[in-house]
Amino acid sequence: MSEANELAAPNLRDILDVFSSAASRYKQEYEKMPVLIIDNANRIANDELDKIQDYAKHASDRRIATVVFVSSDGHVPRRMMGN
């Protein structure tokens, strides 16, 4: 593995996969749905926000986790309602 690969930030898909795995273990152990809180959602790039929103729907439909978006800017709720 090159040094550049070691320093690269993980991509969003990898992060959500790790969260899903941890959420599954949490739910199995505690019999409660875990919650992922996305704070400052207004600072997330629109394409990334779309991906997280898709994941939130998937996680909710499959009872993996609940995803909560926190924003101090009104454009995020309007944008999400459009999706």
Is 29 among the domain residues?
Answer: yes
Domain count for the chain:
1
How far is it between the farthest Cα atoms of the chain? Answer: 43
Is 78 among the domain residues?
Answer: yes
Give the confidence band of 71 by pLDDT, cuts at 50, 70, 90.
confident
**pLDDT at residue 83, rounded to an integer:** 61
**pLDDT at residue 9, rounded to an integer:** 77
Is 4 among the domain residues?
Answer: no
Is 5 among the domain residues?
Answer: no
Give the confidence band of 76 by pLDDT, cuts at 50, 70, 90.
low
Is 34 among the domain residues?
Answer: yes
Is 51 among the domain residues?
Answer: yes
Is 6 among the domain residues?
Answer: no
Give the confidence band of 61 by pLDDT, cuts at 50, 70, 90.
very high
Q: Residue 70 pLDDT > 80, yes or no?
A: yes
Specify the higher pLDDT residue, 27 or 7.
27
Is 73 among the domain residues?
Answer: yes
User: Range of 70's domain?
Assistant: 11-82
Q: Is 6 helix (H, G, I), strand (E, B) or coil?
A: helix
